[in-house]
Chains A and B, each alone.
Chain A
Amino acid sequence: MTLLLQVQGVTKRFGGLQALTQVTFDLPKGQILGLIGPNGAGKTTLFNTINGVYHPEEGRILFQGKDVTNKMPYHLAKMGMARTHQIVRPLNELTLRENVMVGACFGHENQSLSKAVKIADEVLEFVGISSRTDQLAGSLNVAQKKRLEMARALASHPYLLLLDEVLAGLNPSEIDGMIQMILDIRKQGVTIIMIEHLMKAVMNVSDRILVLDYGTQIAEGSPNEIANHPKVIEAYLGDPKLAEQLMEDD
């Protein structure tokens, strides 16, 4: 089992605020890791620290065995890491195709423009917004913009994909579509970390789950272990019965 990502004792502070405290975990290739926790627990901060937007005060991060602790986001993109944003960041004045081409052209495969056009059309088809290829990204609705975020990340053919609340704001049928998409992506051998508030989805999709609370990791384990973990129930799930319900849905 090769480790794609190793996070070792990562601590991040913003002034007096301790955003992450000694977060440590390993992520083997091909797995889906669910990242859950209450609002403000530091989930997105952990993403930002992994992909180089922030640099941690302590600890180190290894990606494909290389120390990437102080690398910039574009270095990590070039090494095969891609992510989506919780608050979508479309390139509004560019077409959908151009948006996705940026991902293909500047990711680790460094594709030429002509190859990127082909990849963009394939990926837009895969995420189901290919009818709008030539429209400007600014004209999409939120659900479509989330798909576009996904398409841009996938176009780089990443080794590691960080998904930040891709299900938030979607309706039930869109959620089912997105979950199916995530499972399809995993089948292609992509390793995934997903932040998600929707417990049912995260419990069903993840191989393992990491729980953050006030920047500290309070539990890590299989979905089953997490659902029955007393600390998690206290900090996050709240109601012991809810945990049972979540597992029954399997």
Chain B
Amino acid sequence: MRNWQKYIGIILPLLVIAGLMLYPTITGKAAARETAFTILKAIALASSLNILLGYTGYVSFGHIVFFGFGGYVGFYLLSSQGLSLWICILAGGFSSGLLAFLLGKAILRLRGAYFALATIGVNEAMRAFINNFDLFGGPTGITLNFKAYLAYGGAAKALEMAFYVVGGLAILAIILSYIIRTSKFGLGLLAIRENEDAAEVMGVFAPDAKTWAYVLSAIIPGMIGVLFFFKNGNVEPHDAFPLHASIELLVMVMLGGQGTVLGPILGAFAYQGMRGYLVTSDFFKDIQLSVSGALLLIIVLFIPAGAVGWLRQRFPILRRVLA
């Protein structure tokens, strides 16, 4: 096989990101950057969730907890301790990773629906905890002093910078996803997804592998959280831990194709596009989430492998190029 063909599984996703990052410059509209930011954020989050859901086969209904928790920790350090954004983003990623490590030790021994239920519980428990945690401002949350943006050349410059940082994080998420997909560690995860008992008999250290998959799926959401709240200028418990956002992430991954590198990217793209249309239409704006629910049902019933998965099944030749 020629060299470029071997790497098309990573080149194609990166081209999508590059296109999204250039989109605001090409159109020259300020609103375009907001749209692209939302899509890039969704791509990074969905690709991260895919490590757990798609590769390892564990359904998390509360993955947004890592976005919220990491975001809170980083934003607290940013606003109250005055640390630089870069250190805060790293701190957000690290704390989400640590949370996933501890949670993984506790709840990853559960399988199937029990694990999924536990993840909802974790998200709700975390929201209740933050609501009553005075250091993080309790129910009113934390607001960033406007002066903090001066260090980044003022609010307008800071917003522009945040856009490129989210693009960078999306690229990081995709590269991480691709490396795992094509590594020996990833092969072990796929084996766990297909049959955990058989994988253990063949020598896959399932408890450790699952924990690391969980940690790796949590780090980038934590970093994205810090960046998102930095861009918003404030954080409140209901913004940080919205259960419906977890479910939307599931829809994105399932729509595009779980267990593939490209799937969550296309899924996030398509879902955000659809959502953008729905929330602005008079008829759908109040029932936008019902449409997501119906969409999830249709995917699970008719194309459980998602779009990319369906293409790979239908055209085996594509298995070589679509990672």
Chain B residues lying within 8 Å of A134, measured Cβ to Cβ, are 316, 319
The answer to whether A91 touches B190 (Cβ under 8 A) is: yes
Question: CB of B142 within 8 A of chain A?
Answer: no
> In the complex, given contacts A74-B204, A89-B197, A102-B188, what are 7 additional A-B residue pairs having Cβ atoms less than 8 angstroms apart?
A51-B201, A73-B203, A74-B200, A74-B201, A98-B187, A102-B202, A134-B319
The answer to whether A77 touches B201 (Cβ under 8 A) is: yes
Question: CB of A101 within 8 A of chain B?
Answer: yes
* B186 nearest CB neighbor, chain A only: A113
Cβ contacts B197-218/A at 8 Å (1 or 0 each): 1111111111000000000000
Question: CB of A83 within 8 A of chain B?
Answer: yes
The answer to whether A91 touches B195 (Cβ under 8 A) is: yes
Question: CB of B191 within 8 A of chain A?
Answer: yes
The answer to whether A113 touches B201 (Cβ under 8 A) is: no
13 A-B pairs, CB-CB below 8 angstroms? Answer: A74-B203, A77-B200, A77-B203, A85-B198, A89-B197, A90-B194, A93-B194, A103-B203, A105-B188, A106-B202, A107-B202, A116-B184, A134-B319
* Known contacts A74-B204, A77-B203; is-contact A101 B198 (Cβ 8 Å): no
Task: Name the distance in Å between A238's Cβ and chain B's nearest Cβ.
Answer: 34
Chain B residues lying within 8 Å of A51, measured Cβ to Cβ, are 201
B195's contact among A78, A83, A89, by CB below 8 Å, is which? A89
* B190 nearest CB neighbor, chain A only: A94
Size range of the interface on A?
20 to 34
Interface residues of B (CB under 8 A from A): 183-184, 187-188, 190-191, 193-195, 197-206, 259, 316, 319
The answer to whether B191 touches A73 (Cβ under 8 A) is: no
Interface residues of A (CB under 8 A from B): 51, 53, 72-74, 77-78, 82-83, 85, 89-94, 98, 101-103, 105-108, 112-113, 116, 134, 152, 156
Interface of B is mostly: helix
Task: Name the distance in Å between B61's Cβ and chain A's nearest Cβ.
Answer: 22
B200's contact among A73, A85, A94, A105, by CB below 8 Å, is which? A73
* Known contacts A72-B200, A74-B203, A77-B202; is-contact A112 B184 (Cβ 8 Å): yes
Separation of A85 and B197 alpha carbons in the complex (Å): 11
Chain B residues lying within 8 Å of A83, measured Cβ to Cβ, are 201
Chain B residues lying within 8 Å of A74, measured Cβ to Cβ, are 200-201, 203-206
Separation of A214 and B183 alpha carbons in the complex (Å): 46
Separation of A83 and B197 alpha carbons in the complex (Å): 12
A102's contact among B197, B199, B319, by CB below 8 Å, is which? B199
Separation of A78 and B201 alpha carbons in the complex (Å): 10
The answer to whether A103 touches B184 (Cβ under 8 A) is: no
The answer to whether A106 touches B190 (Cβ under 8 A) is: no
Chain A residues lying within 8 Å of B199, measured Cβ to Cβ, are 91, 102, 106
Separation of A74 and B201 alpha carbons in the complex (Å): 6
Separation of A1 and B92 alpha carbons in the complex (Å): 60
Separation of A90 and B199 alpha carbons in the complex (Å): 10
The answer to whether B205 touches A92 (Cβ under 8 A) is: no
The answer to whether A113 touches B202 (Cβ under 8 A) is: no
Separation of A116 and B191 alpha carbons in the complex (Å): 15
* A48 nearest CB neighbor, chain B only: B201
Chain A residues lying within 8 Å of B188, measured Cβ to Cβ, are 102, 105-106
A94's contact among B183, B191, B206, by CB below 8 Å, is which? B191
B184's contact among A73, A77, A85, A113, by CB below 8 Å, is which? A113
* Known contacts A94-B190, A94-B194, A102-B188; is-contact A152 B202 (Cβ 8 Å): yes
Separation of A37 and B181 alpha carbons in the complex (Å): 44
The answer to whether B198 touches A105 (Cβ under 8 A) is: no
Chain A residues lying within 8 Å of B200, measured Cβ to Cβ, are 72-74, 77
Separation of A105 and B202 alpha carbons in the complex (Å): 9
Separation of A169 and B3 alpha carbons in the complex (Å): 45
The answer to whether B201 touches A73 (Cβ under 8 A) is: yes
Chain A residues lying within 8 Å of B205, measured Cβ to Cβ, are 74
* A77 nearest CB neighbor, chain B only: B203
Separation of A90 and B191 alpha carbons in the complex (Å): 10
Separation of A73 and B192 alpha carbons in the complex (Å): 14
Task: Name the distance in Å between A166's Cβ and chain B's nearest Cβ.
Answer: 15
Separation of A102 and B188 alpha carbons in the complex (Å): 7
The answer to whether B194 touches A106 (Cβ under 8 A) is: no
